[in-house]
Amino acid sequence: MKQCEYKQAVSNINRPNRIALAVSQSADEEKTNIITLGWFMRTSISPPMFAISVGVSRFSYELLSDNRKFVLAFPSQKMVEKTIQCGTQSGSDVDKIKEFNIKTQNGKLSSIPLLSNAVANFECKNVSQIRSGDHTIFIGEVKYSWINQDPDIKLLLSVEDNEKYEVLHKSKNHTFGLIK
């Protein structure tokens, strides 16, 4: 082992990584937004729970603090462009669902929509939140789970550009693709 800068060590453990999209909504249901997330995890089997880590400067942070529910959706290969758009633009400037033409459908828990082209959607009720440096961890209990029935749908990942993966998007900061 050789001691190094944090950034160098972290860059070695970053990929492959699942990506998620968190859909949130203001309490008055006027605004609905989607954020791309790399930082999330399952945190309980019974009841099932997911934690998501959202920067306090994000528009999503405001909505998640305002309305304690969210949908966690896992993007498919059909959502590459939308995953980048939701992860590079803010809902404070743009209505992402409308502008990026994101297909949605009704869920059961609330008026927060499911993402129709996702591999799976989880409707969560936020049961706890913890400040973690410049991010806040929102812990959601899964109330309803949904899967996509399209047999061709595949889970989009943040990957490395090598022979193990089929790269679908590559830019300076992000490489997205599928496991071959």
Ligand X SMILES: Cc1cc2nc3c(=O)[nH]c(=O)nc-3n(C[C@H](O)[C@H](O)[C@H](O)COP(=O)(O)O)c2cc1C
Q: Which residues sit at the interface with ligand X, rule CB under 6 A?
A: 19, 33, 35-39, 53-55, 58-60, 87-92, 135, 158, 174
Q: Closest approach of Cβ 78 to ligand X, in Å?
A: 17
Give 4-57 as a DSSP string. Answer: --HHHHHHTS--SEE-EEEEEE-TTS--EEEEEES-EEEEETTTTEEEEEEETT
Q: Closest approach of Cβ 46 to ligand X, in Å?
A: 25
**Residue placing its CB nearer to ligand X in the complex, 125 or 174:** 174
**Residue placing its CB nearer to ligand X in the complex, 48 or 87:** 87
**Residue placing its CB nearer to ligand X in the complex, 6 or 108:** 6
**Residue placing its CB nearer to ligand X in the complex, 3 or 12:** 12
Q: Closest approach of Cβ 60 to ligand X, in Å?
A: 3
Q: Closest approach of Cβ 52 to ligand X, in Å?
A: 7
Q: Which long-range contacts (CB under 8 A, 24 or more apart) does 9-17 make?
A: 14/158, 15/157, 15/158, 15/159, 15/160, 15/175, 16/157, 16/158, 16/159, 16/160, 16/165, 16/179, 17/157, 17/158
Task: Name the residue whose CB lies closest to ligand X.
Answer: 87
**Residue placing its CB nearer to ligand X in the complex, 12 or 46:** 12
Q: Closest approach of Cβ 71 to ligand X, in Å?
A: 14
| C-alpha closest to that of 169 among 67, 82, 40, 98 | 82
